[in-house]
Amino acid sequence: MGTQENRRKNLRAPLYIDVSFRLACGTLRRGKIINLSTGGVFIKVAEPVGSKERVTVRFFLPSISKPMQLAGEVVWSRCSFKPKPQFEVVNVMGVKFVNIKETYKRLIKNYILQAIYMDAQVRSLGILLVMGKIRKLSSADRLKAYDLLIKRGHATLNAAVPATILLPG
């Protein structure tokens, strides 16, 4: 059996933003998105939500002015205890998107491709792990991701090294 990262179908990016979600019964709740993929979202919530519960999640992606509103289903829900620095009960859930519109899927995918390859992400994960994730993408997304890495690497290199050293003499 592989690691959780290997079993995942979709590339995901860390994200810590507010989210509201409506349960099938109409109750409105709030939480924090921890990470996001085109297939679903990982949310920290105040109160647990049961598995198989139908929800509608609503959130704003950074740099997008209109909210995303997506139907989903809770595929897992967990409660854990965090003893330090102070005792805290943490409820989290995984929501799988259902019938996501292609427009939303494309917006999420573009956000993830840019977020996952930020300099801080590459430094914290390590380039080999990031390259391993890139190899799992479709060929078009793989090319886009390579292009983003090359541009960021080139910009970082240009900022650190004087142009006279970079240009052949």
* % of the chain beyond a pLDDT of 90: 35
How far apart CA 91 and CA 79 sit, in angstroms, is 4
- What does the pLDDT read at residue 142? 73
Identity of the amino acid at 13:
A
pTM beyond cutoff 0.85: no
Residue 47 tokens read as 């109160």
3 state SS of 26 = coil
Instruction: Reply yes or no on whether the pLDDT at 136 is more than 50.
Output: yes
Asked if residue 165 is part of any domain, the answer here is no
pLDDT tens string 12-30 = 788 889 999 999 999 999 9
**Same domain for 83 and 127:** no
Per-residue pLDDT tens digits for 87-116 = 777 889 999 999 999 999 989 988 887 776
CA dist., res. 156 & res. 153, Å (int):
5
Contacts of 145 (CB under 8 A, 6+ apart): 113, 116, 117, 134, 137
Dihedral sign for Cα 16, 10, 136, 154, please: negative
**Those residues with Cβ within 8 angstroms of residue 138's Cβ, 6 or more apart along the chain or in another chain:** none
* pLDDT over 60 at 84, yes or no: yes
Residues 20 and 75 in one domain: yes
| Three-state DSSP state, 169 | coil
Whether the Cβ atoms of residue 116 and residue 81 lie closer than 8 Å to each other: no
Among 11, 34, 16, 44, CA closest to 144: 11
DSSP code per residue over 130-149: HHHHHHTS-HHHHHHHHHHH
146 lies in which domain range? 117-159
What CATH number corresponds to the domain at position 68? Answer: 2.40.10.220
CA distance 6 to 4: 5
| pLDDT, average across residues 140-153 | 69
What's the number of domains the chain is made of?
Answer: 2
Residues 19 and 93 both lie in one domain:
yes
